[in-house]
């Protein structure tokens, strides 16, 4: 039973990271119907910036939580800047092009960013400094469930972030503009929504969420390299599809379900085939219920 509990906990932790990244996919897809293949790379860049910032700050004598907060903040700013630039260069000129074009452009952008980090930094795994402090009160829980302080921070942070996002989308001006654009871009433009700005903002928000995910993963797993964005991106996309792409609560749910399923499969079946399992889930979902768990079936307009 303890083993099961442990797997569930690790699944939830993993799933909440997937959920954070999945939100970026879902938001972008909801508005411009594009799989932003480079989203995983934004997450990776977020993790790298956090690593660099915390490395520098440690050397200059900062310590503890201040490093974590500063690193996360700067990582988020940079991820946002990268997301914004990415949209402007690789996607905006293709907004009216056939569907295949932005998709290929996205794959190209993903390759580019991966190799940019590889060349500018290193192909090796870099050890991520331990930023999250050990809370003493977590010790007894950790023994039973494997749920340590880092995991607690991940769960709490992602929960807070997702609630924040929901509030942002439900109640703010930009959130309303985003929903309007998602419903009908032409109509939104007609009623005075600056669609270009909304799309940019969507990328910015999605990128910030991905960067938060990157910082959390880096500090809990302890090492990163230029390639981590690829798998994380694919998994997160799977989560987004699982929940119903374009659907924000769906992305959160999809992330958790995928994380749990993967963790249980790795624990009871075989960890070597963990990634196979994630793809299996994706394929089965797409075949049986392409609209996802929470999505609505959309009839193609003829």
Residues that bind another protein (CB under 8 A): 33-35, 45, 48-49, 51-56, 58-59, 74, 78, 81-82, 85, 89-90, 93-94, 97-105, 107-117, 119-122, 126-129, 230, 234, 237-238, 241, 272-273, 275-276, 279, 282-283, 286-287, 290, 296, 299-300, 302
The 10 Å Cβ neighbour count of residue 66 is 10
Q: Nearest distance from residue 168's CB to another protein, in Å?
A: 25
Q: Nearest distance from residue 232's CB to another protein, in Å?
A: 13
Q: Nearest distance from residue 300's CB to another protein, in Å?
A: 7
Nearer to another protein, 81 or 264 (CB): 81
Nearer to another protein, 176 or 289 (CB): 289
Q: Nearest distance from residue 264's CB to another protein, in Å?
A: 18
> Residue 258 in contact with residue 243, Cβ under 8 Å?
no
Q: Among residues 174, 92, 187, 74, which one has the least CA distance to residue 131?
A: 74
Nearer to another protein, 14 or 39 (CB): 39
Q: Nearest distance from residue 207's CB to another protein, in Å?
A: 12
Nearer to another protein, 35 or 153 (CB): 35
Nearer to another protein, 93 or 133 (CB): 93
Q: Nearest distance from residue 59's CB to another protein, in Å?
A: 5
Q: Nearest distance from residue 111's CB to another protein, in Å?
A: 3
Nearer to another protein, 103 or 169 (CB): 103
Nearer to another protein, 108 or 164 (CB): 108
């Amino acid at each position: 039973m303890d083993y099961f509990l442990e797997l569930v906990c690790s699944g939830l932790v993993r799933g909440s990271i997937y959920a954070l990244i999945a939100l970026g996919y879902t938001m972008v897809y909801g508005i411009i119907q594009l799989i932003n293949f480079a989203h995983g790379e934004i997450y990776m860049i977020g993790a790298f910036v956090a690593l660099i910032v915390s490395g520098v700050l440690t050397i200059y004598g900062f310590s503890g939580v201040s490093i974590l907060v500063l690193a996360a903040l700067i990582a988020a700013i940079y991820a946002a800047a990268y997301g914004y630039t990415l949209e402007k260069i690789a996607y905006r000129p293709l907004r009216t092009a056939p569907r295949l074009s932005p998709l290929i452009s996205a794959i190209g952008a993903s390759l580019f960013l991966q190799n940019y980090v590889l060349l500018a930094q290193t192909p090796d795994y870099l050890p991520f400094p331990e930023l999250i402090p050990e809370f003493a009160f977590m010790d007894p829980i950790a023994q039973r469930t494997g749920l340590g302080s880092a995991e607690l921070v991940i769960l709490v942070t992602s929960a807070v972030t997702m609630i924040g996002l929901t509030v942002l989308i439900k109640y703010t001006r930009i959130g309303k503009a985003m929903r309007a654009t998602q419903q009908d871009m032409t109509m939104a433009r007609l009623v005075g929504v600056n669609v270009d700005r909304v799309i940019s903002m969507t990328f910015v928000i999605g990128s910030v969420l991905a960067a938060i995910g990157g910082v959390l993963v880096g500090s809990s797993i302890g090492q990163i390299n230029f390639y981590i964005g690829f798998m994380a991106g694919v998994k997160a996309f799977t989560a987004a599809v699982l929940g119903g792409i374009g659907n924000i609560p769906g992305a959160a749910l999809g992330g958790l379900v995928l994380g749990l399923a993967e963790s249980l499969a790795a624990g009871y079946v075989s960890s070597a085939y963990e990634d196979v399992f994630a793809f299996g889930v994706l394929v089965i979902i797409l075949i049986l219920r392409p609209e996802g768990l929470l999505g609505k079936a959309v009839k193609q307009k003829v």
